[in-house]
Chain A
Amino acid sequence: MTATVTDRELLDPAILRVIDVDLHNAIPDWSQVAPYAPAGLRHRMTRQGGPPMARHGFKQVAPPYGDAPRPMGAHGQPGNPAADPAWVKEQYLDARGVDLAILTGAITSLGVQPNADMAATVARAVNDWTLDRWVRPYSCFKGSILVGQQDPAQAVAEIDRLGADPGMVQVLMGSASETPLGRRQYHPIYEACVRHGLPLALHLGGEGAGMSPPSTAVGHPTTHFEWYGSLPQVYMAHIMSLVTEGVFEKYPTLKVILYEGGIFWVPQTMWRFDKNWKAQRSETPWVKQLPSKYILQHFRYATYPLEASTKEQLAQVLEMIDAEHTLLFSSNYPHWELGDPLAMIADLPEQLRRRVLVENALDLYGERLLR
Chain B
Amino acid sequence: MPVAIHVGSEGTGVANPPTGVGYPTTYLEFHTDHAQTMMAHCVSLLSEGTFEEFPTLKFAFIEGGVTWAPYVMGRLDRLYPALKAEVPYLTKLPSEYLLSNCYFSTQPIEEPDNHQHLLQLLAMMHAEKTVVFASDYPHWDFDNPLMAFNFFPADLKRRIFVENALDLYGSRLLTPNA
Question: Residues of A with Cβ closer than 8 Å to B?
Answer: 60-62, 66, 175-183, 207, 212-219, 221-226, 228-234, 236-238, 240-241, 244-245, 262, 264-265, 267-277, 279-281, 283-284, 287, 291, 305-309, 313, 316-317, 319-320, 337-339
Contact = CB atoms under 8 A, between A and B. Distances in A.
Contact of B82 (A62, A213, A270): A62
A232 B39 CA distance: 10
A291 B29 CA distance: 11
Interface of B (DSSP majority class): helix
Contacts of B66: 268
Contacts of A214: 16-17, 20
A306 B87 CA distance: 21
B76 to A, nearest CB: 5
B79 interface: yes
Interface of B: 10, 15-29, 31-33, 35-37, 39-41, 43-44, 47-48, 65-68, 70-80, 82-83, 85-87, 94-95, 108, 110-112, 114, 117-118, 120-121, 124, 140-141
B35 A272 contact: yes
A237 B24 contact: yes
A238 B121 contact: no
Contacts of B114: 320
A262 B36 contact: no
A81 B67 CA distance: 39
A245 B28 CA distance: 10
A166 to B, nearest CB: 33
A343 to B, nearest CB: 12
Contact of A233 (B39, B85, B94, B111): B39
Nearest to A292: B112
Contact of A271 (B73, B80, B112): B112
A226 B114 CA distance: 32
B47 A225 contact: yes
Contact of B78 (A219, A224, A283, A338): A338
A125 B149 CA distance: 57
Given A222-B44, A284-B28, A217 B17 contact: yes
A181 B74 contact: no
A138 B113 CA distance: 47
A264 B125 CA distance: 12
B108 A272 contact: yes
Ranked nearest first, the 8 interchain pairs of A and B with the lowest CB-CB distance are A307-B74, A237-B19, A271-B110, A216-B40, A265-B71, A226-B47, A308-B77, A264-B71
Contact of B25 (A183, A207, A230): A183
A306 B10 CA distance: 29
Given A223-B86, A268-B110, A272-B108, A307 B25 contact: no
A337 B48 contact: no
Contacts of A207: 20-21
Most chain B CB within 10 A, of A66, A182, A222, A267, is at A267
Nearest to B121: A267
A226 B44 contact: yes
Contact of A229 (B33, B68, B72, B141): B72
Most chain A CB within 10 A, of B15, B24, B28, B95, is at B28
A179 B23 contact: yes
Nearest to A239: B32
Contacts of A287: 28
A244 B29 contact: yes
B86 to A, nearest CB: 4
Contacts of A264: 70-71, 74-75
A225 B86 contact: yes
B110 A272 contact: yes
29 contacts: A60-B82, A176-B21, A178-B22, A180-B22, A182-B25, A182-B29, A207-B20, A214-B20, A217-B19, A218-B41, A221-B40, A223-B86, A223-B87, A225-B76, A226-B47, A234-B19, A234-B21, A237-B36, A241-B21, A244-B26, A264-B71, A268-B110, A274-B111, A276-B32, A307-B73, A307-B74, A313-B120, A316-B121, A320-B114
